[in-house]
Structure 1
C-alpha cells in the first residue's frame, strides 16, 4: 500500500499548494497517474508536488487548473510558493519587487536577476553550489513574473559595460543573455542603459543597489552582501541613492546607444561562436 503523506496546509505555501492539489484531484476522482496522463506529466511528479517534495511550475499549475477546473487557484499560488523558497533574508526583497510601481537598479558586475536568462541564472547560482540547482533556478526565474501583471512595474536598469564582458556561463550563455537584453528594446516598461568604461569615475563606485518606488509607500533602497540583504527607507539614504542614480543615468549611454553597444559586444566577443543564422557552432 502506498504511504500517503498528510500535509499540514498551514505549514508553508508549498504544503498548502500540495494539500489543495490533492483535494481537487481526489474530488475529481482521479489517481495521480490519471491526472499526470491528462496534463502530460508523470504520476510520480504529481505525487511529489502533492507531498511538497517538488516545486510546481507555472506551466504545471496552469495545466492542472484546467484539468481540475480550479478556477486558476494553483496558478495564482505559484508566486507565493516560489517566494517562500527564497532565502529568508531575500523574501522581503521579493515582496518589494512584487509591490513596486518602479524599480531602478544599478549593477556593476552582472545582469540584474529580473533580466537574467535561465542558463545565465544556472551559471550564477551554480558557481559554488550545484545543490538543488533546478529548483533554485526556477525560484529565481519566477520573480520575473512581475512583468506579466496587468500593470507591471517600470524597470530602469543601468548596467556597467563590465557586465557585458564578464563571461558568465560561457560564450553561448552570454550570447543568449545579451540577445535577451536586446529583446526589451521596444518595451517602454523595461529600459536598459549601459554605463560605458569611458564614464571613468562614477556615482556607483561604492557598489550595486536597487531603488523601489511605490504608489503610496516611501521609497526603499536595497543593497546586498554575502548571504545578507539590506533594505532601508531611511530618508537620507534614499535621497543619496536617488541622486546617485540620477547621475548614473546621466553618465550612461542612451537607450538606443546602449542597445547598439550590447549588439556590438554580442557579435564581436561572442559571435565567433555562432554560425550565420545565430545558432551555436558545434
Structure 2
C-alpha cells in the first residue's frame, strides 16, 4: 500500500521536496510504482522520498524533472535539501562558501572539502561512521557544484605534505584523489600548493583555517574543531589570518612544483602494488 503520510511542506526542505514530488506525481496520474518505473527505481523509494524518510540524490531530482516536465524545479530544490543535511553548525558556512568570490584555505590533515573525490569524502566522513553517511557525502558533493557554476570563486588551497601521505580510504582511493588534485593544474579558478615538510615551522602550526572574501561583505575567517565550526569577521583576526596565509603561500611549493610532488607521491606511494604493500613470494 502506498505511503500516504501527510507532510507539512514548511517543516523542512526535505518535507517540501516530498510534498512537491507527491503533488506532481498525482497531477500526472501516476502511482508510486508507475513513477518509480519511469525513474528506474522502486515505488518504495518514491514513497520514502515523498514522506521525507529518504533524502533524494541530485540524479533522482533531475530524472524527476525530465519525466514529469517540471522545468528544472526539483533540480533547483535538491540543492537546498542536500545542504540541510549538513551539520547545523556548518550550514551557514556552506551558504557563505557558495557566495564567496575568493576562497583561501590551508589544510593540515585532509584534502579541502571542495576538492575531494566522492570515495575520499566517504572515507573521511565515515570515520567514525555516522548514521547518515550517504546524505553527508551527497551534501559534500553538492557543495562542489560551486566550482562548476558560471563565474566560480577563485580557490587557493595550500595542503600540508602530510595530506598527500596520510592514506585515507586505501591506495586506490588515494591515487584517484591525488589524480583529481592534478586535474586542476590548468584551471583558471583553482590553485593547489603543497607545503613541504622541509619548510619546517610555519605560520599555521595551530592547524587548518579558511578565509572567505566577498564582493560586498566583510571577509570571514573560519576554523573548526571536532565538534563545531567557528567563523569571525573581526577585522584584526581576519588580518592576522591573511598575514599567516600569505606566508604559507610564500613558503609552499609553486603550483608547478606541487603538481610534480603530487605526481611523485601518486606513483611511489599509491602506484600499482598490493594493498598490503607485501612483496610476492620469490
- In structure 2, distance between residues paired with 1:255 and 1:41: 44
- Kept after mapping to 1: 8 A contact 2:14/2:55: yes
- State the Cα distance separating 1:273 from its structure 2 match: 2.8
| Deviations 1:163-210 (CA, angstroms, capped at 9, x unpaired) | 000111111111111011111111110111101111111111111000
- In structure 2, distance between residues paired with 1:251 and 1:103: 19
- State the Cα distance separating 1:238 from its structure 2 match: 0.5
* 4+ long deviations beyond 6 Å: none
More deviation in 12-21 or 120-129?
120-129
- In structure 2, distance between residues paired with 1:2 and 1:72: 26
- Kept after mapping to 1: 8 A contact 2:2/2:32: no
**What is the match of residue 277 of structure 1?**
none
Over aligned residues, Cα RMSD in angstroms?
A: 1.2
- In structure 1, distance between residues paired with 2:3 and 2:258: 57
**What is the match of residue 15 of structure 2?**
15
Q: Secondary structure at the match of 1:273?
A: coil
- In structure 2, distance between residues paired with 1:161 and 1:238: 25
| Deviations 1:108-129 (CA, angstroms, capped at 9, x unpaired) | 1110111111111111111112
- State the Cα distance separating 1:135 from its structure 2 match: 1.9
- In structure 1, distance between residues paired with 2:2 and 2:21: 18
- State the Cα distance separating 1:245 from its structure 2 match: 0.7
Alignment of 1:230-241 (within 5 A): 230-241=230-241
| Deviations 1:15-44 (CA, angstroms, capped at 9, x unpaired) | 001111111111111111111111212211
- State the Cα distance separating 1:147 from its structure 2 match: 1.3
Q: Which runs of 5+ in 2 are unaligned?
A: 275-282
**What is the match of residue 150 of structure 2?**
150
- In structure 2, distance between residues paired with 1:74 and 1:269: 43
Alignment of 1:1-282 (within 5 A): 1-273=1-273
- In structure 2, distance between residues paired with 1:113 and 1:269: 22
- In structure 2, distance between residues paired with 1:133 and 1:245: 32
- In structure 2, distance between residues paired with 1:33 and 1:185: 46
Q: Which runs of 5+ in 1 are unaligned?
A: 275-282
Q: Secondary structure at the match of 2:9?
A: coil
**What is the match of residue 278 of structure 1?**
none
The alignment of Structure 1 onto Structure 2 pairs a total of residues equal to 274
- Kept after mapping to 1: 8 A contact 2:56/2:78: yes
More deviation in 132-141 or 42-51?
132-141
**What is the match of residue 279 of structure 1?**
none
- Kept after mapping to 2: 8 A contact 1:196/1:253: yes
- Kept after mapping to 1: 8 A contact 2:2/2:47: no
TM-score, normalised relative to structure 2: 0.94
- State the Cα distance separating 1:130 from its structure 2 match: 4.5
| Deviations 1:223-281 (CA, angstroms, capped at 9, x unpaired) | 0012111000000000000111111111111111111100000000010338xxxxxxx
- In structure 2, distance between residues paired with 1:150 and 1:15: 30
- In structure 2, distance between residues paired with 1:273 and 1:58: 35
- Kept after mapping to 1: 8 A contact 2:209/2:221: yes
More deviation in 49-58 or 156-165?
49-58
TM-score, normalised relative to structure 1: 0.94
